[in-house]
Every structure is written in C-alpha cells, then in structure tokens.
C-alpha cells in the first residue's frame, strides 16, 4: 500500500521535472534566474564525467561518495564506478545487465539485477550499495567485484551505512537491518511497525555514532536504535501528522540527521526543525520548518531548504532565524552543502548555486546540465561534487573573483 502512494507521488515529480508542465500540475513555476546576475565568487569546473543514466525516472536521489581521494558513484541502470576525485579519471567501471521496469530483460539470465539506488557507502576495502529490487551488494573497492549479496523484502533507496562490523540498511517497508559486513548475513532487524499509506519517496541517510543508529522515519519521528542488536532506545516526534487530508497529514522525516557534539538536528515535512539531546532523546528547542531534504551545519549555523525552496540559515543554539533567501523559490533545490564560506545547492533545471554563508546573498552560478539535480552536493576538501538525475557528475572549485 505504501508503494502505491510512493508511485503516485513519484509520477507527479517526474512529470514536473521532466516536462515542466507546472500549470497543468497546479505547481508554482520556478522563480526566473536574474539575467543580470554578477557573481562575486569565481567558480571553476575542474572535471565532468557520467555514470550510467543516473537515477533516471526512479525518483531516488543518487549521491556519490568520496573516500580517500576516490569518488564512487552508481546508477539505477546498473552502472557503478570509481573515479579519481581530483581529476575525474576512471579507476574502474562495472555495468551489470539489468531488466527494465516492466521485467523485460536481456543478456545473461543468470546474473542478478543491480538496479542500484541511493549511492554507495565505503569503509576500508568494502563498498556497499542497495538496489530498487531489495538487494544489498558488498563489493571490493579496488575493482568493483562482488563479495556478497543479501536479499531483503523491500526497496533500498538510500545509502547504507558501514559501522564497525555491521552494515546498516533501511528498506521502504519501515525496517532497519544490521548486516554482517564480511558476509552480508542478517544479524538483526528492527521493524518500525505501521508505515503511512501515503508517503514522500525518499529516506534520509542513517547516522551511526557512539554505538547508536539515528534516523528520521516516514511517520515524522527521530528514532535511536542500539547498533549491536537494533533495539529501540528512544524516539522523538518531529511532526504531529495533523491535517484534514492524507496529503496534509504526510510528515516524513526524509532528511539525514546531523550530530554536533551530543546534539542532534533533524527536520520533517509539515513539521519542525528540532535540536535533540542525543543520549536522552530530550528536545532542546524546536521551530516550525517544513522540508523533505537534509540540513547542513557549519560553525554556529544550520542551513536548510524548505518545501518552497527558500534557503534558510538558523542559529544552531536556539533555532533563531539568521537569514532567508527567496531567489530560488520553487526551483526545487537540493539539500544544501557547505563549501568554505558558501552554501551550495542544485536545482530542477540543472543549475548549481552558491550563496554566501554569512548573509545568504547569491554569489555564484554554474550549469551542470539541463536535467534536474536532486541529490545533496558532496564537499570534500576544496571541491564540491554535484550529480544530476541522468548521471552527469561535475567537480567545482571556488576562487577569488
């Protein structure tokens, strides 16, 4: 039943992003970009490549990861690769033979489908990634060769998390699994129980810290589980789930959870931005803020994009407003990332925008492609990596104007 709701919302998303039929879909059109915009920071495209056809029409956010100077990325059509993070040079690429959405396949019928989703997680010599058909693959980071595969009963649409000897994976049916990182064998499962009939398509990444797994749920809660056995420690509401219609009652917490010291920060759709004491689960402060993407943290500031694509900055100690930027309203911007003194987001038309972290003023703009960018940009060192829905990936560096 949840899958039905997800498909309906995803179909609407694809129609809007692909055809720009905003009037027909009764959706506000993107705010036009200022043609007279004068950048105050120099943006240099360092390299560009492509991995498969990206997320395609799956509706998931395909995000690369950078570990040890290597960028790893995958696509829902079975492509996965490793690239030198500084130059974009291919280290290795693999392509599985996959079936189409309607089950029409080709190639070696004995090979497993690999409809990769979310993005890879890497630790040591292990790369782990989930699929839309409920598989989790453990691969060798040196060449992408398969080490193990684990079958789960539902889609895995966000990136797994590797912690110690366990790989933590969440599925779309409300379950969280602890898998043995050496073999893929299931060690524990935590069932969240009832999943809302109607839900946004997406899950935030899992956060593992101090022997605890933290994540936001489809019913608007921030949940903490024991890493060793999956037992629930506590949960805290981020949204009330109130409203007259099913759509008004949607309250997904689809963004990742941030940890700063012992304080957790999380937000929900139709809900609040909340600071929570990590050990106890006690709320420290909360303020209204509706979002379906992740937050970013730098210094004393929290950054987020609300459901109207207005980019905000908040004081992390109190939740007080610091600034709001309306220039990108209705452009369906990504979750923000912080690159130096700037906040960076992508948008529905393939543009990448840099805002000054101090006051939110637009500072730079580049166009990756003419396709939507849905995944949060990834910052590593002085580079930011951005991926669009068709698998185009670019690396950008900032310099003085």
Q: Give the model confidence (pLDDT) of 34-72 as tens digits.
A: 999 999 999 999 999 999 999 988 888 999 999 999 999
What CA–CA distance (Å, rounded) separates 321 from 313? 6
Residue 28 confidence (pLDDT)? 85
The HSE-up count of residue 333 (CA atoms within 13 Å, CB side) is 31
Report the pLDDT averaged over residues 386-394: 97
More confident residue, 217 or 210: 210
Lowest mean pLDDT among 85-99, 180-194, 279-293, 372-386: 85-99
> What's the pTM value of the predicted model, to 2 decimals?
0.89
Q: Where in the chain is the domain with CATH 2.40.128.630?
A: 62-201
Which residues 6+ apart lie within 8 Å of 24 measured at CB?
none
Report the pLDDT averaged over residues 343-351: 98
pLDDT, one tens digit per residue, over 243-297 is: 555 555 555 657 789 999 999 999 988 888 999 999 999 999 999 999 988 999 9
Q: Where in the chain is the domain with CATH 2.40.10.480?
A: 1-57+323-401
Where does 197-273 have alpha helices with state H? 246-249
Q: What percent of the chain is predicted at pLDDT more than 70?
A: 83
Residue 200 confidence (pLDDT)? 54
Please check the confidence at residue 309 and state whether its pLDDT lies above 60.
yes
- CB-count burial class (<10 Å; 0-12, 13-18, 19+) for 270: buried
Please check the confidence at residue 321 and state whether its pLDDT lies above 90.
yes
Q: Following DSSP, what letter does each residue of 33-89 receive, concatenated? A: P-TT---SSEEEEEEEEE-TTTTTTS------EEETTEEEEE-TTSEEEEEETTT--
Query: What band does 238 get if pLDDT is binned at 50, 70 and 90?
Result: confident
What CA–CA distance (Å, rounded) separates 73 from 215? 23
Residue 103 confidence (pLDDT)? 42
Please check the confidence at residue 320 and state whether its pLDDT lies above 70.
yes
Tokens of 21: 């039929």
Query: What band does 145 get if pLDDT is binned at 50, 70 and 90?
Result: very high
Residue 93 confidence (pLDDT)? 96
Query: What band does 109 get if pLDDT is binned at 50, 70 and 90?
Result: very low
Residue 351 confidence (pLDDT)? 98
Distance set, CA 313 to CA 36, 302, 333 (Å): 25, 6, 15
Query: What band does 218 get if pLDDT is binned at 50, 70 and 90?
Result: confident
Q: What percent of the chain is predicted at pLDDT more than 90?
A: 71
Residue 368 confidence (pLDDT)? 98
Residue 192 confidence (pLDDT)? 78
> 207: which strand partners?
214
Please check the confidence at residue 111 and state whether its pLDDT lies above 50.
no
Answer yes or no: CATH 3.10.20.30 is held by domain 62-201: no
> What topology does CATH give the domain 1-57+323-401?
Thrombin, subunit H (2.40.10)
What CA–CA distance (Å, rounded) separates 14 from 67? 31
Average pLDDT over the chain, rounded to an integer: 86
């Amino acid at each position: 039943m949840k899958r039905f709701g997800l498909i309906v919302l995803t179909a609407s998303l694809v129609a809007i992003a692909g055809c720009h039929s905003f009037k027909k879909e009764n959706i506000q059109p993107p705010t036009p970009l200022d043609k007279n915009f004068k950048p105050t920071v120099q943006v240099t495209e360092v390299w560009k490549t492509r991995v498969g056809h990206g997320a395609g029409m799956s509706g998931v956010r395909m995000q690369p990861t950078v570990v040890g100077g290597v960028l790893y990325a995958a696509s829902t059509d079975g492509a996965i690769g490793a690239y030198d993070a500084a130059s974009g040079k291919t280290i290795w690429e693999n392509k599985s033979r996959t079936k189409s959405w309607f089950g029409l396949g080709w190639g070696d019928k004995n090979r497993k489908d690999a409809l990769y989703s979310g993005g890879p997680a890497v630790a040591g010599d292990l790369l782990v990634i989930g699929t839309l058909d409920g598989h989790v693959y453990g691969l060798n980071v040196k060449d992408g060769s398969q080490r193990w595969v684990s079958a789960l009963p539902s889609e895995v649409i966000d990136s797994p998390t590797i912690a110690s000897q366990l790989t933590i994976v969440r599925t779309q049916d409300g379950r969280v699994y602890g898998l043995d990182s050496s073999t893929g064998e299931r060690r524990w499962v935590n069932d969240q129980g009832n999943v809302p009939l109607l839900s946004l398509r997406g899950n935030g990444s899992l956060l593992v810290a101090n022997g605890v797994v933290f994540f936001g749920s489809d019913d608007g809660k921030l949940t903490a589980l024991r890493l060793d056995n999956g037992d629930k420690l506590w949960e805290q509401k981020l949204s009330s789930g109130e409203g007259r219609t099913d759509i008004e009652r949607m309250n997904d917490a689809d963004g990742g959870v941030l940890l700063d010291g012992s304080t957790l920060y999380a937000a929900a759709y139709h809900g609040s931005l909340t600071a929570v004491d990590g050990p106890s689960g006690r709320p420290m402060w909360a303020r209204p803020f509706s979002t379906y993407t992740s937050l970013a943290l730098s210094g004393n500031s929290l950054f987020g994009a609300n459901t109207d694509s207005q980019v905000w900055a908040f004081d992390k100690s109190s939740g007080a407003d610091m600034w709001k930027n309306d220039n990108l309203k209705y452009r369906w911007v990504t979750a923000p990332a912080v690159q130096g003194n700037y906040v960076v987001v992508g948008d529905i038309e393939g543009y990448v925008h840099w805002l000054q972290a101090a006051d939110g003023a637009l500072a730079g703009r580049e166009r990756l492609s003419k396709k939507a960018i849905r995944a949060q940009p990834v910052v590593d060192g002085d580079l930011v990596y951005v991926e669009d829905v068709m698998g185009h990936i670019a690396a950008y560096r900032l310099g003085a104007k």
